[in-house]
Structure 1
Amino acid sequence: MRRVAIVGGGLSGCIVAFRRAAAGDQVALVEAAPRLGGQLWTERAGGFVVEHGAEGFIARSEAVPALAGALGIGGELVGQETYRSFGFDGGPLRELLPGEAAELLGFQVPRGELGKGIRTFRLGMAQLVEALARAIVDARVDVRLSTAVTSLARVAGGHRLSLAGGGALEADAVVIATPAAGAAALLGEPARALAGAPTLSSVTVSLAYPRAAIEHPLDGTGFIVAAAHQLHGFRACTFTTSKFEGRAPAGHVTLRLFFRPDPADLERMGDAAWAARAEASLARVLRVGGAPERAWVSRWSRALPVFTPAHEERVRELERSLEGRGVLLAGSAFHGSGIDAAVRSAEAAAARLDAL
């Protein structure tokens, strides 16, 4: 029985754990945060389904539906209710051409995917992580939450992972499914160039209103803000309850506002301040009658990888240097942004372990 240690319990790490446990390996999954899932995080309360992280995956993905089928939740997949989108440039909202919104926002997806929309799960994207968590628990994977790996060393017969607070894990093979900077810290000199891998930060604020409070018909997926009008980094707004069914109780709507925050604002502003900024930002675009009933604030500091040719080449160089060492990389930090890319990366890493 092979011992496999996975560093990082986001989507990719969970997939590798699921696949390798199913293959009969002895698997340990170590995650520094107190929960699994990384940027897949859905909150459900009072009839609201609110995404704190990714809201979906590219509609033409084959990898995500295949994984959902393997987990028994293929029937929970849902698509968009509408594909119409709008733009704001200081005046009334104007309808955009298919794919124009994603292109203007710089989404890192193939051009052929623009305008095709996204898919998600009936209860939110965390439904995928929850199914993975159930599967790996059933398979007796050794899951260690709130546990950081402080170092990775080669030892006779494999690898030793030292854990914060004491203790260690021994493994025959290791999969690194962390952000690029985390891989650089663990792998040392071969990965040092990844320490400064480009990333972006994001803050999103979801606001819930009685439907009657919003004058606009909300007959689309939302709107993007032209670059010249992105005050305080406000880039876009999703009409969540128009885009996906079942996201709010009857008579209510939710809108999710996206900000590219100034680093100082990300550091100093609390949730109440971000919610107030979101209200003011929305009021610049739509006529709103009254304050929101609820607000949810999500912060992602340096969490969104940016893929440049230089970064892609550094990853290829690192993977060449790791060949034959029993260490693999998995996840969107290395092999392409977005849920589909993360799933394909994890599936590939899990399959490559067969050859080690």
Structure 2
Amino acid sequence: MKRLVVVGGGIAGLATAYTAQKLAREQGADVAIALVERDDRLGGKVSTDLTDGFVIEGGPDSFITQKPWALQLCRELGLEDRLIGTNDAQRTTFVLRKGKLRKMPDGLMMIVPTRFMPFVTSDLISWPGKLRMGMDLFLPRRTDDGDESLAHFIRRRLGNEALDVLAEPLMGGIHVADAEILSLQATFPRFIDTERKYGSLTRGMIAARKAAQAHATNGNGRPKLSMFTTLRGGLRELVDAIAAALDGVEVLTGCAVAALDCDGDGYTLRLDDGRTLAADAVVLAAPAYASAALLRSVQPELADMLDAVKYVSTATVSLGFDADGFEHPLDGFGFVIPRQEPTRLLACTWTSTKFPQRAAPGTVLLRAFIGGPRREDLVDLDDEALVRLVRDELRTIMGIHAAPTVARVFRWHRANPQYEVGHLERVDQMDALCPPGVLLAGSAYRGVGLPDCIHQGQQAARAALGYLGFGE
């Protein structure tokens, strides 16, 4: 019997164990699979709190359907009837600009205007900024294939104002990263492909909008899904469904791997509770710095590269209110904040508008984001101070004076990997340095969203079984 151990019970590790179990059964492979998670619960940053009729997400609140892997897994696990999309009738995002919430113009695709009148009549971008964005139609395409930062790319194609007001808060915010160092290849490769194919982001996004309008339904006859989809009872439902399906996997929670030793042709994992696990293959689906510590004695060069992956800390603060007396219409999905604005928030989602099922009738739910590369110190404030901070900022920005009936704080210390310029090349080097039978998966490598992490877990499972001699 061959033995596979998965280290890390976040969504990448869960996808690895689930896929390995599934493939082993399909192929009749004699493989013993174990999953080790240091926390008492599975799911990593997927954390859902059900409180007083509110569905509160501590980490991700949805997944993108343009990348198929999370959606496919939900359907495979029998969760299709639990899927819900965003409330696209109110699909509006605001930007805090000079102290005022200003609506993003209709027709923006990945911050690129695809409709003329909404863009030119918007007060979000100044006239010089609009003219500079329009220059995208005439600028030559880049001929160098090397990586560049998101900031360099946006500044080159659309100008400084588009970077400061749109790209930095929206796109840098997705990755909780500084756009000046964020790898374009690793985060928004569609921009590279669009420039290469069309010579202009504007022409490319207009073509993409027309193509999307021509395909109102999916090819399989199902109604078109929202770009962002979630589960009715929160994303914890996906974690629970995967965990329930791991009936052939030994799941060990509340214990950490203290050391990874090379044992001739295999490995021994020593747990912090004194137990040991033998393995012929190991998938490290833990944070890069945790994997570095385990690999230090086995492959020090790889450990150094893993240690060099930077992480930042964030917190989310969710506030629930009674709708009676609430002072804002919540007429959109929320707002993002350029770094020039004098506020301590990164962004705020109007959750009960984006997903009405997240709050009981007669209530509203908001979620604020704090921390990131420039204000990590705020994450260490106590719960009371964080709630007070958020209430103060929302009072200033949105005019909300009502007292919340529910407040929930989640902290994510060193949980957001930074994809700096050249990231994918470094990940290729990491993969090449992995000892035989050791594989890497998770948000530190080839995508931070749920679909990407699930896909990495699936790929790692296939590679592990192939190494063990059970290739498809």
Structure 1: distance between partners of 2:420 and 2:338: 24
CA contact (8 A) 2:20 2:465 kept: no
Structure showing greater Rg: 2
The corresponding residue for 1:118 is 228
CA contact (8 A) 1:33 1:145 kept: yes
The structure that is strand-richer by fraction is 1
The corresponding residue for 1:265 is 378
Give the 3-state SS of the residue equivalent to 2:346 in structure 1.
strand
Is 1:42 aligned to 2:48, yes or no? yes
Question: What do the CA deviations read for 1:35-83 (whole angstroms, capped 9, x no partner)?
Answer: 1000001111221100001111123121111111221112222211032
Structure 1: distance between partners of 2:49 and 2:379: 22
Gaps of at least 5 residues in structure 2 are 26-30, 112-165, 176-186, 192-204, 210-225, 468-472
Residue type at the aligned position of 1:304: N
Question: What do the CA deviations read for 1:282-309 (whole angstroms, capped 9, x no partner)?
Answer: 1111122421111001111110111123
Structure 1: distance between partners of 2:338 and 2:431: 39
Deviation at 1:123? Answer: 1.1
The corresponding residue for 1:179 is 287
The corresponding residue for 2:129 is none
Which shifted more, 311-320 or 110-119? 110-119
The corresponding residue for 2:256 is 148
Q: 1:92 to 1:322 in 2, by over 3 A?
A: closer
Between the two proteins, the alignment pairs up a number of residues equal to 351
Give the 3-state SS of the residue equivalent to 1:332 in structure 2.
coil
Structure 2: distance between partners of 1:111 and 1:293: 42
Question: What do the CA deviations read for 1:207-243 (whole angstroms, capped 9, x no partner)?
Answer: 11111333221111101122222422x1111000000
Deviation at 1:321? Answer: 1.7
The corresponding residue for 1:336 is 447
Structure 1: distance between partners of 2:93 and 2:324: 21
Give the 3-state SS of the residue equivalent to 1:285 in structure 2.
helix
Which shifted more, 169-178 or 91-100? 91-100
Q: 1:112 to 1:213 in 2, by over 3 A?
A: farther
RMSD (Å), alpha carbons = 2.0
The corresponding residue for 1:253 is 364
CA contact (8 A) 2:370 2:379 kept: no
The corresponding residue for 1:235 is 346
Higher relative contact order (CA 8 A, sep 6+): 2
Deviation at 1:266? Answer: 2.7
Which shifted more, 70-79 or 251-260? 70-79
Give the 3-state SS of the residue equivalent to 2:35 in structure 1.
strand
Deviation at 1:349? Answer: 0.7
Give the 3-state SS of the residue equivalent to 1:334 in structure 2.
coil
Deviation at 1:122? Answer: 1.2
Structure 1: distance between partners of 2:282 and 2:333: 41
Question: What do the CA deviations read for 1:144-166 (whole angstroms, capped 9, x no partner)?
Answer: 11111011111134110011021
Which shifted more, 241-250 or 304-313? 304-313
Residue type at the aligned position of 1:104: P
- Residue among 127, 130, 133 paired with 2:237: 127
CA contact (8 A) 1:194 1:311 kept: no
Structure 2: distance between partners of 1:252 and 1:290: 12
The corresponding residue for 2:272 is 164
The corresponding residue for 2:95 is 87
After TM superposition, the score normalised by the length of structure 2 is 0.71
Deviation at 1:112? Answer: 5.1
Which shifted more, 160-169 or 107-116? 107-116
After TM superposition, the score normalised by the length of structure 1 is 0.93
Q: How does 1:263-342 map to 2 (within 5 A)?
A: 263-267=376-380, 269-322=381-434, 325-342=436-453
Is 1:96 aligned to 2:113, yes or no? no
Q: 1:263 to 1:93 in 2, by over 3 A?
A: closer
Gaps of at least 5 residues in structure 1 are none
